[in-house]
Amino acid sequence: MPGALKDQPVLLLHGFGQTGQVWGPVVELLDGFDCICPDLPGHGAASSVEPIAPDSLVSWVLELASGTTPPLLVGYSMGGRLALRAALASLSSFSGLVLISTTAGIESNKQQANRVQSDERLASLLEDGRVEEFEAAWQELPIWAGDSDHVTELAALTRRQSTGQGLARSLRGFGAGRVPAVWDQLGRIVIPASILAGARDTKYIGESIRMNELISNSELEIAPNCGHSLLLESPTTVAEAIRRISLRLQREEQ
């Protein structure tokens, strides 16, 4: 898909257990864009960065965005949860929003508590160096059903770029059960938004449809032959969504 704002900055936030390098295939497809792909606190080169909590991570993202013209903000899974909250904290800091395989939060107190308990078990395995047990428990999660061996191996290899202690702190500080839901705030989002989910990712399709209904200036895309690992399975889908938002911004400026 040709066309883009000249030197359009794009701030890309990865998911849990990944690093900024996961965006490499997307960045290669975004010629003409100024892509910023940081390692989130607790991950990769930022494994020892503290604190990790919703408010501190939002401030961290806003500080990154303040160094450039308002970027397109893109987030996958955990990074999508963070992108959504950063946008709500300061809509004027961003020109557009792309949310991939993510949600506006868990609303049920019981489900939040269950998720915190589940994440604590995983965090303890990581902290104790029981990596094989963590990998087995992580891979059993239903969201990875249908992933190819290649995607599974690539995801596991990427997780090894972070320390177990860093990933444990990320689960405890910004796990889905620790982050307040923001469904009731989505109507405030007026910047152009694109919401992506994989066709196999049944749970997140529902979340994505609901977000699309609540965000007035959004578009929804369900990517065929993809699951929750959409970013790894189809970087082209992600790059094209970013280009579409850029073109919408370009038309609005004319």
Separation of alpha carbons 74 and 242, rounded Å: 8
| Residue 67 burial (C-beta neighbours within 10 Å; 0-12, 13-18, 19+) | exposed
1 lies in a domain?
no
Task: Give CA separation, 225 vs 46, 146, 191, in Å.
Answer: 33, 9, 29
**Closest Cα to residue 33, out of 72, 67, 62?**
72
Integer Rg of the chain from CA: 17
User: Over the stretch 122-153, which tens digit does the pLDDT of each residue have?
Assistant: 999 999 999 999 999 999 999 999 999 999 99
90 lies in a domain?
yes
Helices then strands (H, E): number in the chain?
A: 10, 6
225 lies in a domain?
yes
2 lies in a domain?
no
Task: Give CA separation, 97 vs 79, 133, 245, in Å.
Answer: 12, 36, 8
User: Over the stretch 10-69, which tens digit does the pLDDT of each residue have?
Assistant: 999 999 999 999 999 999 999 889 999 999 999 999 999 999 999 999 999 999 999 779
176 lies in a domain?
yes
212: containing domain: 8-253
Give the number of domains in the chain.
Answer: 1
Give this prediction's pTM.
0.96
72 lies in a domain?
yes
Residues listed for the chain: 254
- How many Cα atoms occupy the beta-carbon half-sphere of 50 within 13 Å? 6
3 lies in a domain?
no
Report whether 87 contacts 11 (CB < 8 A).
no
- pLDDT grade, residue 6 (50/70/90)? low
220 lies in a domain?
yes
Which CATH number is 220's domain given? 3.40.50.1820
